[in-house]
Structure 1
Amino acid sequence: MKSESYLSLSIAPFFLLLLLAFPSTTAQKSTRIGCGHSSQHRKMARVGGIQESRGAQNSAEVEDLARFAVQEHNNKENALLEFVRVVKAKEQVVAGTLHHLTIEAIEAGKKKLYEAKVWVKPWMGFKEEQEFKQADEEETPSVTSSDLGAKQGGHPPGWQSVPPHDPQVQDAANHAVKSLQQKSNSLLPYELLEVVHAKAEQVIEEHAKFNMLLKVKRGSKEEKFKAEVHKNMEGAFSLNHMEADHS
Structure 2
Amino acid sequence: MIEFARVVKSEEQVVAGTLHHLTLEAIEAGQKKIYKAKVWVKPWLNFKELQEFTHAGDATPSFTSSDLGVKKDGHGAGWQAVPVHDPAVQDAANHAITTLQKRSNSLFPYELQEVVHAKAEVIDDFAKFDLLLKVKRGSKEENYKAEVHKNNEGTFHLNQMEADSS
For residue 142 of structure 1, what is the aligned residue in structure 2? 66
State the number of aligned residues: 105
For residue 122 of structure 2, what is the aligned residue in structure 1? 202
Q: 1:242 aligns with which of 139, 161, 165?
A: 161
How far 1:78 moved relative to its partner?
A: 7.8
How far 1:148 moved relative to its partner?
A: 2.6
How far 1:204 moved relative to its partner?
A: 2.2
Which structure has more helix as a fraction of its residues?
1
CA distance in 2, matches of 1:174, 1:234: 18
Give the residue type in structure 2 aligned to 1:242.
Answer: M
> Percent identity among equivalent residues?
63
Give the residue type in structure 2 aligned to 1:151.
Answer: D
Q: 2:90 aligns with which of 153, 170, 184?
A: 170
Q: 1:125-168: per-residue Cα shift (whole Å, max 9, x none)?
A: xxxxxxxxxxxxxxxx7344xx534139xxx7110000001100
Does the 8 Å CA contact 1:143/1:162 hold for their aligned counterparts?
Answer: no
CA distance in 2, matches of 1:158, 1:235: 21
- The runs of 4+ residues in structure 1 deviating greater than 3 Å are none
Instruction: Determine which structure has more spread, i.e. the larger CA radius of gyration.
Output: 1
Q: In structure 2, do the counterparts of structure 1 residues 237 and 196 end up closer, same or farther at CA, with 3 Å as the change threshold?
A: same
For residue 228 of structure 1, what is the aligned residue in structure 2? 147
Q: 2:79 aligns with which of 159, 169, 175?
A: 159
Give the residue type in structure 2 aligned to 1:170.
Answer: Q
Q: 1:181 aligns with which of 56, 78, 101?
A: 101
Does the 8 Å CA contact 1:148/1:157 hold for their aligned counterparts?
Answer: no
Give the residue type in structure 2 aligned to 1:239.
Answer: L
CA distance in 2, matches of 1:157, 1:187: 42
Q: 1:34-71: per-residue Cα shift (whole Å, max 9, x none)?
A: xxxxxxxxxxxxxxxxxxxxxxxxxxxxxxxxxxxxxx
Give the residue type in structure 2 aligned to 1:208.
Answer: A
Q: Superposition pairs for residues 1-247 of structure 1, below 5 Å?
A: 142-144=66-68, 147-151=69-73, 157-205=77-125, 207-247=126-166
Give the residue type in structure 2 aligned to 1:210.
Answer: F
TM-score under structure 2 normalisation? 0.58
Q: CA RMSD in A?
A: 2.3
Q: 1:96-121: per-residue Cα shift (whole Å, max 9, x none)?
A: xxxxxxxxxxxx8xxxxxxxxxxxxx
CA distance in 2, matches of 1:142, 1:194: 19
Which structure has more strand as a fraction of its residues?
2
Q: In structure 2, do the counterparts of structure 1 residues 191 and 157 end up closer, same or farther at CA, with 3 Å as the change threshold?
A: same
Q: 1:181-235: per-residue Cα shift (whole Å, max 9, x none)?
A: 1111112100000000000001125x20000000000011000000000001210
Identify the structure with bigger relative contact order (alpha carbons < 8 Å, sequence gap 6+): 2
